[in-house]
Amino acid sequence: MAFQPVVDLNARRIYAYEALVRGSDGAGAASILAQVTPSNRYAFDQACRVKAIETAARLKLDRRLNINFMPNAVYHPEACLRLTLSAAKEHDFPADLITFEFTEDEQVIDRAHLKSIIETYRQHGFRTALDDFGAGYAGLSLLADFQPDVIKIDRCLVTEIDTSTPRQAIVAGLVKTAGILNISIVAEGVERMEEIKTLEEMGINLFQGYYFAKPTIEYLTLDHDIPWAMVN
């Protein structure tokens, strides 16, 4: 697992770490995910959850842990959570610090089932996040059906937002919508201070991207590693 921080610019601290799968030889996520098939999807999803929790506990992570999951791999929410809860207990990791991220990159075949997953996770004290928002299959229609705790705006809407009026208009609308629905927003893929400044002026204070830190295998970027001085 590699970890990339999500930073809270207002508090000047790391808010969370996203656990990102990597190969044992350091291979990127794309090459690993390319090996996932319908027959091994469930086992892969479960193995990633356990590995993320085990590694985070070993690294003594004391912030939120964001774990990606595949909605189409969850056949029964309660059954799928048993191993997660067991791993958290075994490794003494607080389950209430876990946020499950699901991505728009995977087409949601049964939305009622996904809604059931989110409701079940919330009942167990987990938070949920919609990852890569704006770059996948559903967009606003998915958000209309159910509301996660967090929306992570994809980098396609973040890159060069400081010079793009259309991107600014779209993100401004998302910020207003999220405020009404009491949903937090994370801006993903930030690489330039100008992007951060523009997004901050729009009311966003949670950021993830290379500007702050790249994903690093089994290493946690610390608060003092973040270039706060470069963000006035």
3-state secondary structure the chain: CEEEEEEECCCCEEEEEEEECCCCCCCCHHHHHCCCCCCCHHHHHHHHHHHHHHHHHHCCCCCEEEEECCHHHCCCHHHHHHHHHHHHHHCCCCHHHEEEEEECCCCCCCHHHHHHHHHHHHHCCCEEEEEEECCCCCCHHHHHHCCCCEEEECHHHHCCHHHCHHHHHHHHHHHHHHHHHCCEEEEECCCCHHHHHHHHHCCCCEEECCCCCCCEECCCCCHHHCCHHHCC
Segment 182-189 mean pLDDT:
97
Segment 92-110 mean pLDDT:
79
Segment 132-151 mean pLDDT:
81
Domains of the chain by start residue, with CATH? 2-222 (3.20.20.450)
Q: Which residues of 205-225 are buried (b: 16+ CB within 10 A; e: fewer)?
A: bbbbbebbbebeeeebbeeee
What distance in Å separates the CA atoms of residue 128 and residue 119, rounded to the nearest whole number? 9
Model pLDDT for residues 11-68, shown as the tens digit of each residue: 999 999 999 999 888 788 888 888 888 888 888 888 999 999 999 999 999 999 999 9
- Contact partners, residue 1, CB within 8 Å, separation at least 6: 19, 20, 21, 22, 51, 52, 55, 56, 217, 218
- Give residue 142's pLDDT: 79
- Give residue 224's pLDDT: 93
Q: Angle at the Cα of 105 (from 171 to 158), degrees rounded to 5?
A: 25
- Contact partners, residue 33, CB within 8 Å, separation at least 6: 21
- Give residue 36's pLDDT: 86
Contact 126, 98 (CB under 8 A): yes
- Give residue 73's pLDDT: 66
Chain CA centroid to CA 118, Å: 14
Segment 187-216 mean pLDDT:
97
Contact 80, 46 (CB under 8 A): yes
More confident residue, 111 or 159: 159
Look at residue 217 and tell me whether its pLDDT is greater than 60.
yes
Q: What is the pTM of this model?
A: 0.92
